Amino acid sequence: MRRMFSMIGTIFILRCICMLITSLSVPGAHLKCEGKLYGDIWTKLRRTFEIWTGLGMTLSGVRTCGDYMFSGHTVFVTMLNFLITEYTPRKMYYLHTSAWVANMFALFFILAAHEHYSIDVFVAFYITSRMFLYYHTLANNRSLMLRDKKRTRIWFPLFTFFESRCDGIVPNEFEWPLPNMFVLNRLHSTYESSNKSFLTDLLIYDNFRIRLIHHLKIQYSKLGTLCRPKRKINQEVWKTGVSIVYTFFVHFVTSFAIIVAQERMPDKKQYRPLPDVMLDSITYVPWAYKVPAVHKSSLGKISTKAGFLSKIFKNFMFILLRRMFVIAASIFLFRSICVIVTSLPMPQENFNCEKLVFKNGWERFSRALEIYSGMGMKVSGLKTCGDYMFSGHTVTITTLILLINEYTPKRWIFLHILVWIVGLSGMIFILAGHGHYTLDVIVAFYITSRSE
């Protein structure tokens, strides 16, 4: 129970932040939703209590507007689906299939009712599933939790508090819950006590069998290393090569997604920039968009130099490179989906960026190659629009920060503080240049930090 409550509570805290910083427009014309001023603090508290008692659901008579990024219904449905799948026996595959079908149908009907944008549902499903897997990967691996105890206490304090005395995986064991089965349970316990000697002998035999199999595996592995012919290509090098190919493929998919986003970009004369807490407070700085690219380059140089000085990079270079490529590419692949499914209006009215119209597929392909070769960066002379949710610069900067902090010695405190200062200042300049909404930057940072 506490795992479910802590995960849902953590996700909904992030949802509250996302709702407050950037307000999306109403997704459907049929929704009669207007801005409302509540006046004094007591009126706001009274309305808050109404939403709280009604669980924020339309079925309970509560009508809310503006809470679009991201979908709370998707969070609940997805979390229940994963809990059923995780804490029921693996042989109950009919139940698991039914839970997944119900989950997918719920997401479909949320979109069919036009209560949320597609991006709200996609981001909610991604964040909930990653949170569930991230939480249970740490909880089910005691050694991993002990090694990352300090970092987990900072990034996820609720996990450290709730899981401090839990060892291993929670077993999926069931017993009949009704009182009339009490007699059968007593008979079962009596039978086990009468056969205690038999069970002891069985455990001794099973322990001997496990040790024998382990010994034979060791001998077989030694024999295999002597008799197996050497491969021409090291397996680690081969895996790293595949990760590089995967990264280049995702980079092209991202370039094509940017084209689709600019084709579907809302008209800036009809759709004004969304209300944003940070952008409304920060004066537009025209040259600020160049600074994040410089920060990315600086972090890249720092990570390269630190890698050559670090022993772990020399011994495990291909593993580190493979992890970096796979993590970054997977996040950018999800970003491509978000960019395509929902197009946000430009965050700055002064941008000279118009909707593109291509005559044929060859023109689209040529434009995709231009973005691909220029790495999609304005510093390289490219002008792209529409790819706002979520920030690619923030993804790259956050990935480099976390890689440097993870794979350099813990005593290099000055380097760790320096990269955090450089990275966070880069995100501030992204907002100062009004190149992204605050929502884009926060979602990008959260998704990247949870994928590392």
Beta bridge partners of 276: 22
**pLDDT, tens only, 90-147:** 888 899 999 999 999 999 999 998 888 899 999 999 999 988 988 888 777 765 556 6
Output the pLDDT for position 378: 65
Q: Dump the DSSP string for 242-270.
A: HHHHHHHHHHHHHHHHHHHHHHTPPPTTT
Res 271: pLDDT: 82
Predicted local distance difference test score (pLDDT) of residue 80: 94
Higher local confidence (pLDDT), 25 or 72: 72
Write out pLDDT tens, residues 286-343: 888 778 777 777 777 777 666 655 655 556 778 888 888 899 999 999 999 998 888 8
Higher pLDDT, 234 or 145: 234
User: What DSSP string runs through 383-394?
Assistant: ---S--SS-HHH
pLDDT computed for residue 115 by the predictor: 84
Residues whose CB falls within 8 Å of the CB of residue 443, separated by 6 or more in sequence, listed in order: 18, 69, 123, 389, 390
Bridge partners of 22, per DSSP, are 276
What pLDDT sits at residue 390?
86
Domain residue extents for the chain: 2-26+66-162, 185-227, 235-451
pLDDT of residue 249: 92
217 phi/psi in degrees, rounded to 5: -65, -40
What does DSSP assign to residue 170?
Answer: P
Q: Which residues contact 326 (CB under 8 A, 6 or more apart)?
A: 243, 246, 247
User: Is there a contact between 320 and 407 (Cβ–Cβ < 8 Å)?
Assistant: yes
Q: Which of 278, 276, 250 is nearest to 392 (CA)?
A: 250
The confidence score (pLDDT) of residue 147 equals 61
Q: Give the tokens for residue 103.
A: 């989950």
Do the Cβ atoms of 384 and 258 come closer than 8 Å?
yes
Whether the CB-CB separation of 267 and 355 falls below 8 Å is answered with yes
pLDDT band for 228, please (50, 70, 90 cuts). very low
User: For residue 440, what pLDDT is reported?
Assistant: 92
pTM reported for the whole predicted model: 0.76
Question: Is the pLDDT reported for residue 404 higher than 70?
Answer: yes
Q: Are 283 and 348 in contact (CB under 8 A)?
A: no
Mean pLDDT across the chain: 78
